[in-house]
Amino acid sequence: MIRCLQHAQQLQHADTLAFVVMPDHLHWLMQLGPSTDLSRCMAGVKSVCARQLGMALWQKGFHDHAVRKEEDMPALARYVVANPVRAGLVERVGQYPHWDAIWL
């Protein structure tokens, strides 16, 4: 899954700012590339990931939240990567292996 996000960045579809791969979903804070819309980016990530894993694993659609200019991006990144703590999977963010953020 993480390699799929890295692949999207290599193709300049999205710059990953923060992510956490949860057991049954993904939180991904990213900035779209110059010539990619959100639907195309998500379809590409889902397709590449499903092919690499050899199975369908995505639900149809996705839930998005457009970040407003005045929002504190590092605070949003902290919120994203703290999901495993809030879900009770770990006690501290550093204990969970499937996350990254450019600010942390």
Q: What are phi and psi of 54, to 5 degrees?
A: 75, 25
Contacts of 3 (CB under 8 A, 6+ apart): 52
The CATH number covering residue 20 comes to 3.30.70.1290
Please count the structural domains in the chain: 1
Residue 100 near residue 18 (C-beta atoms within 8 A): yes
**Distance between CA 59 and CA 64 in Å, rounded?**
14
Note down the domain range covering 20: 2-101
pLDDT tens for the chain, 104 residues long, are 898 899 899 989 999 999 999 999 999 999 998 888 999 999 989 999 999 888 888 888 899 998 988 889 999 999 999 999 999 999 999 999 999 999 87
Distance of CA 93 to the CA centre of its chain: 16
pTM score? 0.90
Residue type, 51: R
